[in-house]
Structure 1
Amino acid sequence: MPAPTTPTPAVVDLLGLVALGELLAFDRMAADARLAPDLRRRAALSEMAAAEIGNYRRLADRLAALDVPPDDAMAPYVGPLQAYHDSTEPKDWAEAVTKAYVGDAITDDFLREIAGTLDGPDRQLVLDVLHESRYADFAAAEIRVAIEADPRVANRLSMWARRLVGEALSQAGRVAAADRGPLTALIAQGEQVDVQGLFRRLTAAHTARMAAVGLNN
């Protein structure tokens, strides 16, 4: 574990945000696994949930090593992140895997960009907790199977994916409002993060992912 250091408020806020995201993702995936049509798929999503709680523990341990109670670091973001999950609860298995595919990927893209503004162990920790490609591959394969079984599903899932992104952006605005300043400043550091370029890259990557599984952006 990295040695205790004096954390900057921005690092604490970012680690708190990521930790809460992992904790809520565990809750969501564990519940969504019950929508699986068979035990193989249920086990696959449950494994994804287990990875999320493992990542949460690493982030919570790092915050504790920085003498910051994890609960305190996460508290400002409970409302927006919980609201996102409450407003995007999937109705069936196809929506569940689309949420995992779309929501997790755009979050990972964002965190990968912001991690570049951090130093040493905290940058590596954020990169380490990004989702493994095999989980995205699993979700993508399930979306393709659903569309192959019923091509009409593509339109419904495309609309669902757009809703997921819209809700994510809406709650991101609430996160910025909830933030006490350091995290917003970290994201907007002109010399390290080209904000307009960041959103162009996020949009391009999302569009490519949609097309890869047969969904319309």
Structure 2
Amino acid sequence: MGSGPEQEHRQFVIDFYGAMAYGELSAFERFSADARFSPTLHDRITIGKLAAEEFAHFELVSAELADLGADVEAAMEPFQAFVDAFHERTRPADWYEALMKAYVSDAVSGDFYRAVAVSLDPPSRALVSRIKADTGQAEVLRVRLAQALSGDARLASRLALWGRRLVGEALTQAQRVTFEHQFLGALLRRTDPASRKAATDALFARLTGNHSRRMNDLGLTA
């Protein structure tokens, strides 16, 4: 397995995959639950398809962890509390809030993983690109949200507020993971604390900016 920097990098990649795997598993569970409360049969089918995609992503990351000789459950466990805390603190009040949560949280996580992937080895970059590629999921959610918001100023105001809370909670949990596990700074090739902080601050600023643009696409204030 190697030693020194090589072994250290391997562990960083395992941690990265562990966080991603648990995020994908949680997304599958969330979409599966949301599908049951869809207002129309078409919505139920659409959200059900998204759930199936998330579980397929989970299986891809699990296979990569197994190839690295890592136990999938053990790799995910350190990140379970962070992801669960986010979902516990952002329980949607209805189906429209659930839809907004999917739109915001999946987009933010996709931005995060794609940004970090540029510092990974080529096979790992390819896997992240495959899982987090723009497959139209965000557009499906955006179109459905836009339909719901059209002509409904009250819902628009409520979901704008909800979107701000969601991105705040998502970034808070991501920062906690970064602080407690330190894998992000290492993957970004930063060795000293000041440089790591600057790199992570820049990344989170980019995530916030991307979120604002997506909210603007819906005609909402971020």
Q: TM-score, normalised by structure 2?
A: 0.88
Bigger relative contact order, structure 1 or 2, given CA contacts below 8 A and separation 6+?
1
CA contact (8 A) 2:119 2:189 kept: no
- Select the residue among 80, 102, 125 that pairs with 2:104: 102
Q: Distance in 1 between matches of 2:213 and 2:200?
A: 20
> Given residue 110 of structure 1, which amino acid in structure 2 is its aligned partner?
F
CA contact (8 A) 1:17 1:74 kept: yes
Give ranges in structure 1 of 5+ residues lacking alignment: none
Alignment correspondent of 1:23: 25
**1:26-73 Cα distance to aligned partner (Å, 9 max, x none):** 011100112211111011011101000001001001101111001111
SS of the residue aligned with 1:8?
A: helix
1:125 lines up with 2:130 in the alignment: no
> Given residue 113 of structure 2, which amino acid in structure 1 is its aligned partner?
L
Alignment correspondent of 1:65: 67
CA contact (8 A) 1:76 1:178 kept: no
How far apart are residue 101 of structure 1 and its match? 1.0
1:14 lines up with 2:19 in the alignment: no
Q: Distance in 2 between matches of 1:184 and 1:151?
A: 42
Q: Distance in 2 between matches of 1:62 and 1:154?
A: 41
> Given residue 42 of structure 1, which amino acid in structure 2 is its aligned partner?
R
- Select the residue among 158, 165, 168 that pairs with 1:166: 168
Q: Distance in 1 between matches of 2:133 and 2:52?
A: 12
Alignment correspondent of 1:82: 84
Q: Distance in 2 between matches of 1:195 and 1:170?
A: 12
SS of the residue aligned with 1:129?
A: helix
Q: Distance in 2 between matches of 1:148 and 1:14?
A: 39
> Greater shift after overlay, 155-164 or 165-174?
165-174
> Greater shift after overlay, 148-157 or 115-124?
148-157
CA contact (8 A) 1:13 1:183 kept: no
Q: Distance in 2 between matches of 1:153 and 1:66?
A: 47
Q: Distance in 2 between matches of 1:182 and 1:136?
A: 27
Alignment correspondent of 2:202: 197
CA contact (8 A) 2:185 2:199 kept: no
- Select the residue among 123, 140, 143 that pairs with 1:141: 143
Give ranges in structure 2 of 5+ residues lacking alignment: 1-5
SS of the residue aligned with 2:132?
A: coil
List structure 1 segments (4+ residues) > 4 angstroms apart after TM superposition: none
- Select the residue among 38, 43, 67 that pairs with 1:36: 38
> Given residue 78 of structure 1, which amino acid in structure 2 is its aligned partner?
Q
Q: TM-score, normalised by structure 1?
A: 0.90
CA contact (8 A) 2:188 2:199 kept: no
- Select the residue among 184, 189, 214 that pairs with 1:209: 214
CA contact (8 A) 1:29 1:49 kept: yes
> Greater shift after overlay, 193-202 or 21-30?
193-202
CA RMSD of aligned residues (A): 2.0
SS of the residue aligned with 1:171?
A: helix
How far apart are residue 135 of structure 1 and its match? 1.4
Identity in percent: 39
